[in-house]
Amino acid sequence: MTELLGRPNTCSHHASLAGRRPAVATRRVRARASSVAGVAEHPGTLIAGGVERTFRVVHPAPIEASALLLVLHGSDSDAARFRELSGHTFDRLATDAVVVAYAEAYGGTWNDARLGTRSPARERGLDDVEFLSLLVARLCEEYAVPAHRVFIAGFSNGGQMVIRLAAQAPVLFAGGAVISSNHPAPENVLPEMARPGPAPADADDDDQRDRGPRSSRSTAV
């Protein structure tokens, strides 16, 4: 796991970074009890790039949030499958007053930091940096999360998306974690990334860089 530190943020900046106020679904969804005691959960949608995007929120019950954690699943996955894969580990943070939001990639794969990534979002020209900026702005306002207490964690392809966010939107979060994912090789970095995010400590290993995690990390969550 590698921590990527951003800058202190503000909810108002999240909204301005995205360029517009997030569109919200008109239908209200009642929160239901989670499998973890003392927390509740509900699905949500918002419009980004003209497309309805989905996410699921697990929050303290009653709501009294001290932080927001945005969780990004790996490729060909979604919120439900990653929650199962991780053994609902992140859900349990809601018992410590953390709002946990599982964002979902369009078509199951994030438009991440790598030039070679093939994802439905990239093929359709969707901007996942915009989507996640809108989502953070909405949740920060909705749950009254302190502006400097927004964090992000990504697994595999989701980790590559964290790396892209660290380069293109570092003020979006105060800190982040990349799980089971390496920094892409220089020739495989998206041209639109102004600069690469911080590389893992073992990135000098040319055989390891851009090939994915070592087997000892492949099950890390």
Instruction: List, run by run, the mean pLDDT of 10-residue segments along the chain (221 residues).
Output: 41 49 36 66 96 96 89 96 94 93 97 94 96 96 90 97 94 95 91 57 40 32 31
- Which residues have C-beta within 8 Å of that of residue 37, sequence separation ≥ 6? 95
Pairing mode, strands 2-5 and 51-60: unpaired
Q: Are 74 and 158 in contact (CB under 8 A)?
A: yes
pTM of the shown model:
0.74
Q: Are 44 and 25 in contact (CB under 8 A)?
A: yes
Structural domains in the chain?
2-19+36-199 (3.40.50.1820)
User: Which pLDDT does position 194 carry in this prediction?
Assistant: 55
| C-alpha to C-alpha distance for 16 and 11, rounded to whole angstroms | 9
User: Which pLDDT does position 108 carry in this prediction?
Assistant: 97
User: Which pLDDT does position 56 carry in this prediction?
Assistant: 97
Q: Are 73 and 112 in contact (CB under 8 A)?
A: no
